[in-house]
Amino acid sequence: MAFPIFFVWFLIGLFIFRHHLRKNTKIDDAIHNAFWKKEASSLVVRKRNLDPKDYIQPSLSSDVLMDQAFFNRIEAPDLYRQQKYLMELSQKPMVNFQGLDNADVRLKYGTATITAIETYENNFIQYIKTLHNLAQGLMAVGQEDLARLYLEEGIAVGSDIRGNFTLLATIYKKHQQQDAINHLYEIAKDLNTLTKNKLLTELDQIKLGDNTEDTNQKPLPY
């Protein structure tokens, strides 16, 4: 009698397996069909202008700019070129639609707008990269205060560069700005990046790290 019982259980298992297989296939088909329906719909949307609120508004002031003589004195002429490039980028239109895929953007603004939007997104990416690179270079030559301004600008415009967060947090830690690090942590929690968990761990480590050698430092204004 053992064989028939085993065979019955085998048939039941096979039935359950095929049921789930058909169910998963239907779900996959529905997702596939929805994807292509969305793609097809996005290709026929008429051009729409971007809302002024969609544009990134840089907040760097002319007070941050240093002349070429300054960079020559600190023996960093390449940083002057980066600063010049950064200010050129700040005058260009920038958007950050990282939370939307191409179909979503086409549905919202039309197919004819995609090329311009891609250019604006690239301007933004270059802007936040240059902010970070410039800040790193300034830190390397001992210009912490100036570097901090560029890093804070990166956070203000929505940079998701991990190094922008960690370098700024290190400066805040040096000056006992725990609240500022906490603020960075809250911003980082909302990022949509693959390295978010690693960034949060690094911010925790910076926040909890030993800071005894900097106890005489005055906190920076935030």
The domains of the chain are located at 2-214
Tell me the average pLDDT of the chain.
82
Q: Position of tokens 């940083």?
A: 79
Single out the residue of 38, 56, 217 nearest to residue 123, CA to CA: 56
46-85 pLDDT tens trace: 667 888 899 999 988 877 899 999 999 999 999 999 999 9
Question: pTM of the entire structure?
Answer: 0.76
DSSP string over 21-73? HHHHHHHHHHHHHHHHHHHHHHTTPPP-PPPGGGB------GGG---HHHHHH
pLDDT at 20: 65
Three-state DSSP at 134 gives helix
189-218 pLDDT tens trace: 999 899 999 999 999 999 988 543 343 333
Q: Position of tokens 């967060």?
A: 165
